[in-house]
Amino acid sequence: MPVAIETKGLTKDYRSPVKEPGLWGGVKSLFDRKWKDTRAVDGVTFSIEEGELVGFLGANGAGKTTTLKMLSGLLTPTSGEATALGFTPWERRPDFQRSISLVMGQRSQLWWEIPAYETFKLNQAIYGLSEADFRRHLDELVELLELGEHLSVPVKKLSLGQRMRCELAAALLHRPRLLLLDEPTIGLDVVMQKNVREFIKAYNKRSGSTIMLTSHNMTDVVELCRRVIVIEKGRLLYDGALDRLVERYAGHKIMRARFTADVDAADLKSLGTVVKYEDRTATLEVPRERMAASAAALLRTYPVADLNVEEVAIDDIVRRLFTHE
């Protein structure tokens, strides 16, 4: 398989002026400004093969988005190298730009007051698509994303989920060979998240394009990616199969129970690891395979008022990974 993305020691510093207080400080900084560097991405090296669907994980501010922005050519790195589809992204060659797309869950390229179809037509002009290609690609996307009548409604009148699907269509009209997705499911309800995920999976399979995706949502990653790359504080922590990551670091779920009467915390140990017990509320870590049995046992044995089961937050897994290393 040919390589789609390759980075070597990719590093990005953000430089920001140090603000001095007061009027005099303001005047002084006009002439003699002091700068502070913050390292957002620190020597990241990895390579991705064509057709792969890779999850990119990390806590807030870990440098995921910055890396994606460098790979799409939006930002110029401070040092290090990267090639994507054989190009240096930040040279922004038109041939490169015609082969990629960047989707940001919190940003929109659609024009707010008018129907999404207009933005599609604009993208047709920008990417130089022939009328026939435009029609063909659009029809396919309309079907896959079930856009139908949404195309002719002003974007501001669409729901968040409908808008996100239009956003994806706008980004895919030119059939990019490399797709960079930054939090594509953020803010969507559970059903919508599922739809978007299924679409991404189908698109990857159908077009064979390379996809790199960041998400806070563990389900996104679990359902879509066989391989994940984890970064923390700008450094690469883990690069490998997702199975091994979740097995190693999130082999359990979190069970939270509130009781109507006091319970001896020591007795709960048989159900899982007690992380916390206070105010008649217990938090336990329960291995995945024992979850159902433990919950049943808990309900049977104790006066339970409320019971809650959650996945471990992705930030937690990453933090664990960080402390274990």
Partner 1 sequence: MRAALSKYWRIWLRTASMAMQAQLTYRLGSFGFLLGKMMRLMFFFAFMAAVFNHVETVAGYNLVETALFFMTYNLVDMTAQILFRGVYGARRTVSEGDFDFYLVQPCSPLFRMTCSSVDFLDIITIIPVIVMTGMTFARLPPIGWEGYAAYALLMANGVALIFAIHVLVAALAVRTQELESAIWIYRDVMFMGKFPVDVYAPAVRWALTLGIPIAVMTTFPAKALLGRLSFGWIAYAFALTAVALPLSYWFWRDSVARYTSSSS
> 192, exposed or middle or buried, with CB in 10 Å at 0-12, 13-18, 19+?
middle
Q: Is residue 318 exposed (0-12), middle (13-18) or buried (19+ Cβ within 10 Å)?
A: buried
CA pair distance 325, 323, nearest whole angstrom: 6
CA nearest 97: which of 129, 123, 72? 72
Residue ranges in 47-66 that form contacts with partner 1 under rule CB under 8 A: 65
**Residue 95 Cβ, how far from partner 1 at the closest point, in Å?**
8
CB-wise, 174 or 252, nearer to partner 1?
174
Contact 103, 182 (CB under 8 A): yes
Residues in region 301-320 near partner 1 by CB under 8 A:
none
Instruction: Tell which positions 177-206 bind partner 1, by CB under 8 A.
Output: 182-183
The helix (H) or strand (E) run that includes residue 309 is strand 304-310
Angstrom distances, CA of residue 163 to CA of 138, 186, 187, 192, 317: 16, 12, 11, 11, 31
Residue 72 vs 217, nearer CB to partner 1: 72
C-beta closer to partner 1: residue 101 or 195: 101
Nearest approach in angstroms of CB 197 to partner 1 is 20
Q: Closer to partner 1 by CB, 91 or 278: give it.
A: 91
H-assigned helices in 84-228: 94-97, 116-127, 131-145, 160-172, 190-207, 218-224
Instruction: Report the site for partner 1 in 69-128 (rule: CB under 8 A).
Output: 69, 72-76, 92, 94, 97-98, 100-102, 104, 106-107, 109, 111-114, 118-119, 121-123, 125-128
Residue 113's CB: how many other CB atoms inside 10 A?
A: 9
Beta carbons within 10 angstroms of residue 22's beta carbon: 8
Compute the least distance from the CB of residue 85 to partner 1, in Å.
13
Query: Cβ(128)–Cβ(160) under 8 Å?
Result: no
| Smallest distance, partner 1 to C-beta of residue 124, A | 8
Between residues 54 and 100, which has the closer beta carbon with respect to partner 1? 100
Residues within window 122-181 making contact with partner 1, judged by CB under 8 A: 122-123, 125-128, 154
If the CB atoms of residues 102 and 295 are measured against partner 1, the closer one turns out to be: 102
User: What's the closest the beta carbon of residue 21 comes to partner 1, in angstroms?
Assistant: 18
In the complex, minimum distance from the CB of residue 238 to partner 1, in angstroms, rounded to a whole number:
24
Closest CA to 263 of 299, 293, 294, 292: 299
Beta strands in 26-105 (DSSP E): 35-49, 53-57, 79-84, 100-104
Helix axes 314-324, 242-249, angle to 10 degrees: 80
In the complex with partner 1, which residue's Cβ is closer, 67 or 294?
67
Cβ nearer to partner 1, comparing 153 with 312 = 153
* 30 is a site residue for partner 1 (CB under 8 A): no
Tell the residue number behind the tokens 């391989």, with chain if given. Answer: 227
In whole angstroms, the minimum distance from the beta carbon of 283 to partner 1 comes to 32
The site for partner 1 (CB under 8 A) is made up of 14-15, 65, 69, 72-76, 92, 94, 97-98, 100-102, 104, 106-107, 109, 111-114, 118-119, 121-123, 125-128, 154, 182-183
